[in-house]
Amino acid sequence: MVLKVDTGDFQNLLKNWVMCSQILKVPESDSDLDSLIELSDFLMDNLNEDKSIEGLLNVVGTFIAEYESRNVEEPQGTPIGVLGLLMNQHGLKQKDLVEIGSPGVISEVMNGKRELNKRQINALAKRFNCSPAVFF
């Protein structure tokens, strides 16, 4: 399918772009980032009702990722050390890590008696919004 756009559509786009360009850009500060994250949350909340906003959500996500790749350092260290740091930063205790498994499994992982498996690593990366690589 070929999308046909006429000059009137371009005029409408330009008219609305002045307002949109204040938000739809790679963030330059944490405040800009917070605004984009709010927009992303809003779009995700409304995605089921209007699938046409999926493209906009992808653009916003790309801008957020670009800012974070330049400004947010990934934690480094042993997998358990990184996990401990992330838990501390988020005010979590071992019992809060339900992604890992039962309290016994969590204890074994935290005490170095058991390594994190792929499922656990992916779940933790999603929870802490970081690359799974930090847990290897």
Percent of the chain, pLDDT > 70? 96
Please check the confidence at residue 128 and state whether its pLDDT lies above 60: yes
Mean pLDDT of 126-134: 87
Per DSSP, 117 falls in state -
Tens-place pLDDT, residues 32-88: 988 998 998 899 889 888 888 899 999 998 998 888 888 877 677 899 999 999 999
Percent of the chain, pLDDT > 90? 42
Q: Which residues have a Cβ under 8 Å from the Cβ of 127 and sit 6 or more positions away? A: 99
Tokens of 106: 């969590």
- Phi-psi region at 101: left, alpha or beta (left = phi > 0; alpha = psi -120 to 50): left
All structural domains of the chain with their residue ranges: 7-71, 79-135
Is the pTM above the cut of 0.85? no
Quote the CA–CA distance of 1 and 24 in Å, as a whole number: 27
pLDDT of residue 1: 57
Pick the CATH number of 79-135 from 3.40.50, 1.10.260, 1.10.600, 1.10.3470: 1.10.260
Quote the CA–CA distance of 128 and 135 in Å, as a whole number: 11
Tokens of 11: 């005029």
Is 75 in a helix, a strand, or coil?
coil
Average pLDDT, the chain: 88
pLDDT of residue 96: 93
- By the 10 Å C-beta count (0-12 exposed, 13-18 middle, 19+ buried), 132 is classed as middle
